[in-house]
Amino acid sequence: MDMIVTPTGKLNGEIQALSSKNYTTRYLLVSALAEGTSTILYPAHSEDGEAMRRCIRDLGAIVEEDEEKIVITGFGRHPRPTKELDVGNAGAVLRFIMSVAALLPEVHFLNSYPASLGKRPHDDLIVALESMGVKIEHQNGRLPMTIKGGNPRGGKIQVSGSVSSQFLSSLLFITPLLDEDSEIEVLHDLKSKVVIGQTLEVLAQAGIVIEASEDLMFFRIPGKQKYKAQTYTVQGDYPGSAAILAAAAVTESDVVVHRLMEDSKQGERAVVDVLRAMNVPLTHKDGIVHVQGNGRLKAGEFDGDEFTDGVLAMVAAAVFAEGTSRFYNVENLRYKECDRITDYLTELRKAGARVEEKRDEIIVHGRPEGVEGGVEIDAHYDHRVIMALTIVGLRSAQPIRIKDAHHVAKSYPIYFDHLKSLGAQVEWTE
Ligand SMILES: O=C(O)C1=C[C@@H](OP(=O)(O)O)[C@@H](O)[C@H](O)C1
Ligand SMILES: C=C(OP(=O)(O)O)C(=O)O
């Protein structure tokens, strides 16, 4: 399904932020790793959430759900042997479940999205798991993959953090269940470091004890721990809401988004400060972000690694800012659902944006007068490219057509419903 985005000058209204993808995947996982029955209130309903539900179910968790909650009876240290798992297009789900699969004799991971997740590298986690005695067959570090484990060893483990934080998170979830105590040393750099804060928060809520160095480059994890069954409440999602807030910023708007906690550990919380720095009139109080956009934005320079899943939306806002913006420290955007630097900028340029790339930077020469639009966009299977190009379409001279925009459902199936309820002219077409 394609989406036609017709220029829309004004947005008005209130929405409830959808539930956080990253907390939903984590709560599902720790509930599966517990032996008792856990409840997750307000889980995210999206393809990635569904991928994690499917995997833990296939691995033996009992999952019952209604509109507002999921009740999960976990398998603890003993997942059920299963031949094959389908993680859809969800990077975090694949990486987290790879370590769980290491507890089993043989699990095959399908390659359902060869043009997206199928291109993403997992070598750093593969090397770490191999050092723990796990055998892995893979295609040059990519899917399809077969993991042959059984009884992975703890002890001293090293993992590179220079491509993704998900490899470290994965090891932090599994090492507490191993017989030995473990020490994890992060090599090189740690990208998306803030996300590790979410992993540690969820582990602590699940009763797991981990000692972390202040710089998050070294961890001590006692073995033989047990995950406790708990009740978890999922908070609102900043990465998805970043796109709504950016849409409000580039239009004349009066838009209120609820459920965005000020003290959230989601790095993308920073998009509120980014928009503020771009002179967007907004307030953030009691979990409510209120944007009263006037369409005028000022360029700025930002460390994108602090809000990795919010960068594309902020770049889309910067397309209409006065001056040149720079988003630096973003190389790992190249290893996401598509190359979120080269592929994304190609599509932005088609729509009329003036953008440049470096290996680890996006540079935007703002066009406050607006862009031409009138083009067809290839979203490269990437939900965040779909959301970001929609923002650009709202302020183009001519409508833009986003091909295969249904892939927005990876994280935000009701994105276009939300935008429509705010007055955006967005229509599905075959
Ligand atoms: O741990 C997680 O849930 C995630 C970590 C981030 O990935 P990287 O660590 O690969 O940047 C983020 O982009 C992704 O959407 C979710
Ligand atoms: C990169 C993302 O997700 P994942 O790595 O889990 O596929 C994302 O949600 O933008």
pLDDT, one tens digit per residue, over 235-255 is 999 999 999 999 999 999 999
Nearest by Cα to 100 from 196, 197, 29: 29
- Given 186, 205, 225, the domain boundary residue is 225
> What per-residue confidence (pLDDT) applies to 396?
98
Q: Ligand 2 in contact with 90 (CB < 6 A)?
A: yes
Residue 67 reports pLDDT greater than 90: no
Kindly give the number of the ligand 2 atom that is closest to the alpha carbon of 382: 10
201 and 312 in a single domain? The answer is: no
- pLDDT bucket at 88, cuts 50 / 70 / 90: very high
Whether 216 and 347 map to the same domain: the answer is: no
Q: Which of 225, 255, 286 represents a domain boundary (last residue)? A: 225
122 and 252, same domain (yes or no): no
Taking each continuous run of H as one helix and of E as one strand, the counts in the chain are: 12, 28
Q: How much of the chain, in percent, has pLDDT values that exceed 90?
A: 99
The dihedral formed by the CA atoms of 279, 283, 284 and 285, expressed in degrees to the nearest 10: 160
Q: Are residues 340 and 420 in the same domain?
A: yes
Please check whether residue 250 is in contact with residue 316, taking contact to mean a CB–CB distance below 8 angstroms: yes
User: Could you tell me the residue range of the domain that residue 10 belongs to?
Assistant: 2-18+236-429
Q: In which band, very low, low, confident or very high, does the pLDDT at 106 lie, cut at 50, 70 and 90?
A: very high
Q: Answer whether 3 contacts ligand 2 (Cβ < 6 A).
A: no
ipTM given for this complex: 0.99
Is 400 among the domain residues? yes
> Ligand 2 pocket, 240 CB below 6 A?
no
Helices (H), 59-90: none
Ligand-binding annotation for 26, yes or no, is yes
Considering Cα of 216, then 220, then 223, then 225, what sign does the dihedral take? negative
d(CA 280, CA 272): 9
Stretch (H or E) spanning 30: helix 21-32
* 351 assigned to some structural domain: yes
Q: For residue 184, what pLDDT band results from cuts at 50, 70 and 90?
A: very high
**Do 394 and 406 fall into the same domain?**
yes
Q: Which residues does residue 160 pair with via DSSP β-bridges, in sequence order?
A: 187
Tokens encoding 346: 């190609």
Share of the chain above pLDDT 70, in %: 100
Q: Among 225, 253, 284, which residue terminates a domain? A: 225
Give the number of the atom of ligand 1 that is nearest the alpha carbon of residue 198.
1
Residue 230 within a domain = no
Buried b / exposed e over 293-303, threshold 16 CB at 10 Å, is bebbbebbebe
Q: What is the pLDDT of residue 166?
A: 98
- pLDDT average, residue stretch 302-331: 98
Q: Is the pLDDT of residue 186 over 90?
A: yes
356 and 213 share a domain?
Answer: no
Which of 119, 122, 195 has most ligand 1 atoms within 8 Å of CB, for mutation?
195
Question: 231 lies in a domain?
Answer: no
Bond prior to 144 in cis (omega within 30° of 0) = yes
Catalytic residue check, 309? yes
Contact 285, 297 (CB under 8 A): no
**Buried-exposed string 410-421: b where 16+ CB fall within 10 A, e elsewhere:** bbbbbbbebbee
Judge whether 189 lies within some domain.
yes
174 with 246, same domain?
A: no
Task: Kindly give, in sequence order, each residue whose CB lies less than 8 Å from that of residue 210, ignoring residues fewer than 6 positions away.
Answer: 172, 176, 200, 203, 204, 219, 220, 221
Return the pLDDT at 274: 98
DSSP code at position 34: B
Q: How far is the CA of 123 from the centre of ligand 2 (A)?
A: 17
Which phi and psi (to 5°) does residue 267 adopt?
-60, -35
Nearest Cα to Cα of residue 370 among 251, 238, 216, 270: 251
We report the CATH number of the domain holding residue 37 as 3.65.10.10
Residues 58 and 205 both lie in one domain: yes
Cα(427) to centroid of ligand 1, in Å? 30
> How close is the Cα of 336 to the center of ligand 1, in Å?
9
- Indicate whether 339 pLDDT > 90: yes
Report residue 163's pLDDT band, with 50, 70 and 90 as the boundaries: very high
On whether both 282 and 404 belong to a single domain, the answer is yes
**For range 5-34, the mean pLDDT:** 98
Residue 368, amino acid: P
| Ramachandran class of 132: left when φ > 0, alpha when ψ lies in -120 to 50, beta otherwise | alpha
